[in-house]
Structure 1
Amino acid sequence: MIPSIKPTDITRRWYIVDASQHVLGRMCTEIAMVLQGKNHSYYSPQWDMGDHVIVINAKKAVVTGTKEENKLYRTYSGFPGGLKTQNLAEVREKNPKRIIEHAVKGMLPGSNLAGNMLKKLHVYEGAEHNHEAQNPQQLITT
């Protein structure tokens, strides 16, 4: 029997991504893969083996086509008439972090591990972040 690696046996790396230089969907797929730990040889779907990801410039995230006006974000309060709809431009103005968090959350597995994976996603509106001590590496080089 081959011994498996536990999450306590690994050291988690830190990565940084500039959202102003990458298209939203393609960037979020890379982020989701790293949060799940699929970029490691010791990946195991039943363990949370992922690394931390810092996303800066969330307010300047790049979208293509007419998504700025046509992509809708819906929230429902649970009461009759409680469905609120906003397009991407309105969400970007009020809470730009939600754009990236919503996209990445949809790409993670639907299990209990998704919450733990999302805790390792750190999204910032501007270029400043408070994780310099972790020495983050560039995630997407293109």
Structure 2
Amino acid sequence: MDTLSYKTISVNKETAQKEWVVVDATGQSLGRLASKVAKLLRGKYKPSFTPHVDCGDNVIIVNADKVELTGNKWTDRTYLRFSGYPGGQREYSPADLMKKSPDKLFRKVVKGMLPKNKLADTLLNNMYVYAGSEHPHQAQTPRKIDINTLK
């Protein structure tokens, strides 16, 4: 067997094949949807995945206000933030974030599933979240995918 015939191909910023995909969040569980979106953003579903390069897709999430959480997680789950001042620790629930904007809730959840480095900020900017079924990215001709078919 000729070992030189197999070359490892490493994708860079210029050679990455990025595309636009639309994901419908209607009736989906928030965590399961977010983990698959994080994989799409990262590019892990592609055979040319390279860990240190932004080779993932641009993801548009529509109907984000129709996402589901089981049980009492809308009110019982708490997130914390701290202003840096004494007594500045605040807690809030997913319902509070959803009232402000579904974008804030999805960004918080997906950000926790991305690597903790500079690349995560770049990847998170490739996600677009909209409460309704309309989005302004028709010019990019996004491909609609069924998120349930991905592993």
TM norm. shorter chain > 0.5: yes
Does the CA-based 8 Å contact 1:59-1:97 persist in structure 2?
no
Residue 24 of structure 2 aligns with an amino acid whose one-letter code is D
Q: Which has the larger radius of gyration?
A: 2
In structure 2, what is the equivalent of residue 6 of structure 1? 12
Aligned length, in residue pairs: 142
Q: Find the counterpart in structure 1 of residue 31 from structure 2.
A: 25
Inter-partner Cα distance in structure 2 for 1:138 and 1:21: 16
Q: CA deviation at 1:48?
A: 1.3
1:35 equivalent in alignment to 2:36: no
- Out of 52, 57, 66, the position equivalent to 2:58 is 52
Unaligned residue ranges in structure 2 (runs of 5+): none
**Residue 68 in 1 paired to residue 74 in 2?**
yes
1:8-67 per-residue CA deviation (whole Å, 9 max, x = no partner) reads 112311111122231111101110001111011010111111110001122221111110
Instruction: Give the aligned partner of residue 109 of structure 1.
Output: 115
Taking the aligned partners of 1:92 and 1:14, their CA distance within structure 2 comes to 25
Q: After superposition, what is the alpha-carbon deviation per residue over 1:54-103, rounded to whole angstroms, capped at 9, x for unaligned?
A: 01122221111110111112221111111111112222112221111111
TM-score of the superposed pair, with normalisation by structure 2: 0.87
Question: Who is 2:124 aligned against?
Answer: 118
Q: Percentage identity across aligned positions?
A: 36
Q: 1:117 to 1:141 in 2, by over 3 A?
A: closer
- 2-side partners of 1:72 and 1:17: how far apart? 26
Q: Write the distance in 2 (CA, Å) between the matches of 1:27 and 1:140.
A: 11
Structure 1, unmatched stretches of 5+, are none
1:104 is matched by which residue type in structure 2?
A: V
Q: Secondary structure, in 3 states, of the residue corresponding to 1:84?
A: strand
**SS of the counterpart of 1:8?**
coil
Distance in 1 (alpha carbons) for counterparts of 2:147 and 2:56? 19
